Amino acid sequence: MAEHLTRHQLYYRENRERLLAKKRANGAEPDAAKKRRQRLKASHLCAVCAAATPTSCRTICDTCRERQKAYAEQLKRRRRQMGLCVHCGKTAPASSRSMCQTCLRKYRDWNHVSGHRERERVRKVATRQALKIAVLAAYGGSVCTCCGETQLMFLTIDHVDNKGGQHRKSVPSRDLYDWLKDNGFPPGFQVLCWNCNHGKHLNGGVCPHVGATNIARRAQVNAPIVSGYCDGEHLCLPVSVQGQSLSL
């Protein structure tokens, strides 16, 4: 990978110890910027301006984020007008591409050859799983409040007051767990499985498990009573409808 590094990156790699020693001699910490970001993150402050509070799981505030995006777009636009690679800004881009061959090769090696993309995917899944377990534990544990389901993949967070649609206008579903953690796990939420959560939505705010049983409810509207089994591969198959066996 050394042939894909820039001149500055190669110089730093070859002289890293000498440069760090020079920083220490001048009284500067080699990892001062990293420690500053970690300190601001622990204090729930923006890692750029250190004044505003970031939203959801981000480390910078919306103002700094929009400023960085605007600067990046402006820089890319200026480089395109100059006929340069939008990534390094040094050489002309490859044919019908916005980046030069060197940057394209570095991008390919970083994402595919080095396995960075797969490592990032695994890391994000593990982080998200740990966050979900922490949120569920704060609201009674990994068990459905209604039916007692304990399979983690089947569990989710439900709005007790049935105002999830209004809440999603300000907090998207993908940011709900982060929002709950950042706000100290406020009341008004409960753990439900996806069946009970969706059944509650379709049943006017009350899970079909509550009150009359599901079979009694379906009998009231002359709906077929379906029984089935799960084959262990998350594929649930009906085996009978009102006592009549089905061939599989």
pLDDT in tens, 208-222: 887 544 445 445 545
Residue 202 domain flag: yes
- The closest alpha carbon to 181, from 218, 235, 127, belongs to 127
pLDDT at 234: 36
Beta bridge partners of 193: 155
Q: What is the DSSP string of 223-241?
A: ---EEEEE-SSS-EEEEEE
Mean pLDDT of 141-165: 90
Residue 47 domain flag: yes
Domain count, the chain: 2
Question: What's the rounded Cα separation, in Å, for the pair 202 and 32?
Answer: 54
Cα 34 to chain centroid, rounded? 23
Q: What percent of the chain has pLDDT over 70?
A: 75
Mean pLDDT of the chain: 77
Q: Which of 33, 65, 81 is the last residue of a domain?
A: 81
Has residue 228 got a pLDDT over 80? no
Residue 229 domain flag: no
Question: What is residue 185's DSSP assignment?
Answer: -
Q: Which domain holds residue 192?
A: 139-208
With 0.75 as the threshold, say if the pTM is over it: no
pLDDT at 238: 39
Has residue 226 got a pLDDT over 80? no
In tens, the pLDDT along 125-148 reads: 998 999 999 999 999 999 998 888
How many CB atoms are closer than 10 A to CB 156? 19
Residue 62 domain flag: yes
How many CB atoms are closer than 10 A to CB 143? 15
Q: What is the DSSP string of 72-113?
A: HHHHHHHHHHTT--TTTSSSPPPTT-SS-HHHHHHHHIIIII
Residue 161 domain flag: yes
Has residue 175 got a pLDDT over 60? yes
pLDDT at 245: 46
Q: Is 56 exposed, middle or buried (0-12, 13-18, 19+ CB in 10 A)?
A: middle
Structure tokens at 45: 């402050």
In tens, the pLDDT along 60-108 reads: 888 888 888 888 899 889 888 888 888 888 888 887 888 888 888 888 8
* Residue the block writes with tokens 């706000």: 183
Q: Report which of residues 227 and 139 the model is more confident about.
A: 139
Residue 134 domain flag: no
Answer yes or no: are the C-beta atoms of 155 and 142 closer than 8 Å. yes
Residue 185 domain flag: yes
Question: What's the rounded Cα separation, in Å, for the pair 187 and 140?
Answer: 12
Q: Which of 52, 81, 110 is the last residue of a domain?
A: 81
Residue 247 domain flag: no
- The closest alpha carbon to 131, from 175, 93, 186, 189, belongs to 175
